[in-house]
Structures are given as C-alpha cells and as structure tokens.
Structure 1
Amino acid sequence: MTSLTDAEQVERANTALYEAMERGDHEALSRLWLDGDISCVHPGWPVLRGRGEVLRSYALIMANTDYIQFFLTDVEVSVVADTALVTCTENILSGAPAEEEGELGPLVGQLVVATNVFRRTADGWKLWSHHGSPVLAESDEESEASD
C-alpha cells in the first residue's frame, strides 16, 4: 500500500470539512480545526477569530439549515512545508426551514469561492483559516447588454 502524498492528505481533510457540514456533525467539524488562533469568513459575515467564535458560527449555521450539500469544483491544493492552501468553488444546495413540520423548505443554489488554509500537526492536517466569498454571477441578459 502506498502512502498518500501531502496534497492528497490535505484534499481529504478539506473534503472531510464539507462532509461534516453536510451531516451536521459539529463534533467532527471541531476536530478538523486547529486549536488556538484560527479565523473564518463566511460569505457576508465579518471576520471571526478564535476557536470558540468560529465553532459557534458553524453551530449556528447547522442549527438553521435543514439541508445542505456541497459539490466542490476547481479544487487546487498547494503544499509548502507544513502549510497548505486549498482553493475551490463550493456549489451549494441548501434548504431553509420548512413552514410545515416534516417537510423540506425551499432549496436554494449558491456559488461560493473558498480558500482554506491548513497546518500540519502531529494529528494530521488541521484547518487554520477558511474564507468564503459569494460569486455574483451575471445573468445572460446583463452580459449581452455589455457586449
């Protein structure tokens, strides 16, 4: 059996972050982050600093999202020494809370470009910083008007 390269290990850690979000598994998500000085920017949010503030934000998002699924595209991994940079496009499908109990709320699609920075630790690659920014796509009409 061949061992995984650093880039492959980082890509797995990156994927695990999104899978934990999809499952609503706050414990698993917490294990993926470094202890100490971390930062996070969710689309439209201010910078969150520190483990407590960052993890509280994920708990809040999970509590208010009935359904979320990420399709990652354009994933690029770069590793230099004990630091890794991942850029990707988060193609997100999410459902808001439903009006009626037991039903799924309306599904909404969103594109977010994300940068995730990882640090190598004795326990593997851990997330140091996440920055997500919404993609403001032009409609076909707008792009034709500018031609």
Structure 2
Amino acid sequence: MESGAPDDSGLTERERVERANTTFYEAMERGDLEAMSGLWLDGEDSGVSCVHPGWPVLSGRGEVLRSYALIMAHTEYIQFFLTDVAVSVSADTALVTCTENILSGGPAESGGELGPLVGQLVVATNVFRRTPEGWKLWSHHGSPVLTENGEEDAEADDVPPT
C-alpha cells in the first residue's frame, strides 16, 4: 500500500473498485494530474484507452494523460455527481458504469472570477484491472446524454415507415 493511501484491507473487491472509481473523479475535480497519472495502468503494452465525449479514441497512457492535462488546464472548476453507479467484478477485471452529472466552468473573460457554470450529463464506462498496487484504470469511455429533443428525434428515427 502506498504511503498515505487509505487502509482498504477490510473492503470487498467491489468496494475497492468503487473507491478507485471515486478517486478517479476526485482527482479530476482537484485538477491533480499527478494523482490522475497514478490511477492508470502503466506499461507500454497496457492497452490503455480513453474516449472523452465528442473526441476520437485516445490510445496509450501518454496520449490519455496528455488529454487530462489539457482538460485540467482549461477547466477552472469541475464537479461530478455520480448516479446510476453499477459495479461488476470478474477475476482481475472490473467494470463500472455510471451517469456523470457534471457541473463545470471556465475562467471569466475579464476579471478573476469564474465564468458561467454549465451542466452536462455523460454516461461513462470505466474498466479497471487488478494490479499488485490495487485497481488501475484500463479504459474510460464517456458519451453525452442527448437532450429530451434529441431523444425524441432519435426515437422518431427508429420508427419503421408504415
């Protein structure tokens, strides 16, 4: 266990995965790239991947961590309220699905105050691998949730012609 890491000896594997998932979002909220870096699988052949909403697939640890550095550098404030969290553990792999209720804001155009806050819903899948150092992120995929109008339009497109 890392120095300063919480003792998780009494936790189930599911609870350990939940803790790793929460730690991921807390690192984003703090803009802590060092902590974020420690959460991802390491190694050239780790197969790490990430899809941020609206972005192409990012492959490789370096590319993924650069994306988080970019996001953190351009986001003055971000907070995640996770709902619909589901955790599944099978051997050395764990899957977490959730809805990210995101509140974020950038710097104001003038002055030193926070710019306008924006809300967004994203559904996410986080895949973790068990390592000797604990559960590490292998893949993150976030997709935006369509607005009600978008959902209605999508449903209308699914109706077969009569």
Question: Structure 1 length as normaliser, TM-score?
Answer: 0.92
The residue number in structure 2 matching 1:97 is 107
Encode CA deviations 1:39-79: one digit per residue, 9 max, x unaligned. Answer: 00000000000010000000000000000000000000000
How well do the aligned residues superpose, as a CA RMSD in angstroms? Answer: 1.6
Runs ≥4 in structure 1, deviation > 6 angstroms?
none
Separation in 2 of the partners of 1:59 and 1:12? Answer: 22
* CA gap 1:55/1:100 in 2 versus in 1, 3 angstroms: same
Of residues 117, 124, 148, the one that matches 1:138 is: 148
SS at match of 2:115: coil
Matches within 5 A, 1:44-123: 44-123=54-133
The aligned length equals 142
Structure 2: segments with no counterpart, 5+ residues: 1-7, 157-162
Larger Rg: 2
1:24 maps to 2:34 = no
Shift of 1:2: 6.9
Structure 1: segments with no counterpart, 5+ residues: none
Question: Structure 2 length as normaliser, TM-score?
Answer: 0.84
1:3 maps to 2:13 = no
Encode CA deviations 1:88-131: one digit per residue, 9 max, x unaligned. Answer: 00000000221123200010000000000000000000000000
Shift of 1:137: 2.0
Separation in 1 of the partners of 2:21 and 2:107? Answer: 27
SS at match of 1:96: strand
SS at match of 2:107: coil
The percent identity for this pair of structures is 81
Separation in 2 of the partners of 1:25 and 1:2? Answer: 25
